[in-house]
Copies of this chain bind each other. A is one copy, B any other.
Amino acid sequence: MGAMVKSTLTSPPLPPLGSSAARVGSSAIRDLLALAERPEVISLAGGLPDARTFPVDALAAAAADALADDPGATLQYGPTEGDPQLRDLVAHRLGADRANVTITSGAQQALQLVARAVLDPGDVVALADPAYVGALQAFRSADARLAPLPSDHHGLQVQALVELIDAGTVPSLVYVTSSFDNPTGATLAGQRRVALAELAEEHGFWIVDDDPYGELRWAGSAPTPLRELTDRTIVLGSTSKILSPGLRVGWASAPVELSRAIVVLKQSTDLHTSALSQQIVRRALGDEPAMATHLAILRSAYQRQAGALADALDRHLPGALRFGRPDGGMFLWAELAPHVAADASADQLLERALACGTAFVPGSAFAVEPTGGHRRRLRLSFATATEEELDEAARRLAGALALG
């Protein structure tokens, strides 16, 4: 039996994905978050988009159209690269060409294929710590060495990358979630983007810009995309946060030579992404007025919910949590003030929060190193709860912190 079987057979059974549970590192946290699925818990621990925002009727109409108008493209084997018209649509959105774009089974697959295409075992991947756990899995499965770098509310501290390189470690790949990062919610600042792009050009590393949340901006203006600053950028995108994650449609946009390598790997991985899902997404993304309306509704809902959560935290836990008010995305990243539960980690507080009927993901779940970190941080999702539930969740959290 292979190493993977040996190393995983001792793990506890996986909780269902859909909870954040399946994406976090420590099994202790995973076990606790499984409890967040109980109906009496108002969970802010999820990484899911709000199912109430799914454009069910439009997607049903798109499915019916696809099956009626083009059953061949919808039900037969299709090209590994993806549906040509969908590739054109994605390329258009990114200012790229069809040849740059590979349609993938969600951005998670794009991440894994890019990691396998670009990295040799032992290659260094630099990334912000904390990080999206799915990215850590993808890079670890490519046997990369991870170089965690500090980040703040302007995203990855690029100066720390300069220092890493000056100390003799040039990464093969730098991973960023440039807009509304998971878990920190941070957007990489414009000047840091310029500096990062210049470093990529100078040292020849790839930048992977994982961008599932960029369209969810309701305030402020987006800095220049990394892809416009350097051709060393590989953009990953997804319909999971703007249409529906269940369809499993994402993409990678990369230089043509690299796209070819991605397609070769994808072919032996799953031949191609669900043709029906691609036909639905093509129709939904292609209807620009409807898509603009849908995104406006989505942004407005998340803006309202983000504001409701921030207000509720101010109301029920004044001064206890430090956080910035989000301009977009799905997450609020908070730090416990020093005087609050001074001896406790967020991991420990999660247990108390569950007893009080709410849940969050503790910062340590996103630590790059297994030794942890971010022990006084909480990731709070405002995406799926109602304004009333968000208020009640904050009240319960105050109770858990013995502030209620």
Contacts and interface: CB of A to CB of B under 8 A. Distances in A.
A25 to B, nearest CB: 12
B8 A260 contact: yes
A: interface residue count bin? 35 or more
Contact of A17 (B79, B118, B172): B79
B248 A270 contact: yes
A80 interface: yes
B118 A1 contact: yes
Interface string A77-104: 1111100000000000000000000001
B18 A76 contact: yes
B2 A119 contact: yes
Contact of A48 (B77, B108, B141, B276): B77
Interface in A258-278: 258, 260-261, 263-265, 267-277
Contact of A2 (B5, B60, B118, B240): B118
A123 B9 CA distance: 19
A4 B71 contact: no
A137 interface: yes
Interface stretch (A51-59, A320-328, A367-375): A51-59
SS of A interface (majority): helix
Nearest to A269: B112
Contact of A14 (B71, B80, B137): B80
A257 B134 CA distance: 23
B59 A67 contact: yes
A20 to B, nearest CB: 10
A179 interface: no
A78 B105 CA distance: 14
A108 B68 CA distance: 28
A106 B76 contact: no
A120 B63 CA distance: 42
A275 B261 contact: no
A9 B13 CA distance: 40
Given A67-B56, A268-B112, A270-B109, A244 B75 contact: yes
Contacts of A116: 2, 4
A17 B78 contact: yes
A22 interface: yes
Contact of A274 (B5, B49, B246): B246
Given A3-B120, A51-B71, A106 B17 contact: no
A226 interface: no
Contacts of A63: 60, 63-64, 67, 276
Given A2-B119, A16-B80, A48-B77, A246 B275 contact: yes
A59 B67 CA distance: 8
A247 interface: yes
Interface of A: 1-5, 8-9, 11, 13-14, 16-18, 22, 47-49, 51, 54, 56, 59-60, 63-64, 67-68, 71-81, 104-106, 108-109, 112, 116-120, 123, 134, 137-138, 141-142, 172, 240, 244-248, 257-258, 260-261, 263-265, 267-277, 280
Please name the 9 residue pairs, one residue from A and one from B, whose CB atoms are nearest each other, closest first.
Answer: A246-B275, A16-B79, A137-B268, A75-B244, A274-B274, A105-B270, A60-B67, A75-B246, A109-B270
15 contacts: A2-B119, A2-B123, A9-B261, A17-B271, A60-B63, A75-B245, A75-B246, A104-B270, A108-B269, A108-B271, A112-B268, A137-B268, A248-B275, A274-B276, A276-B277
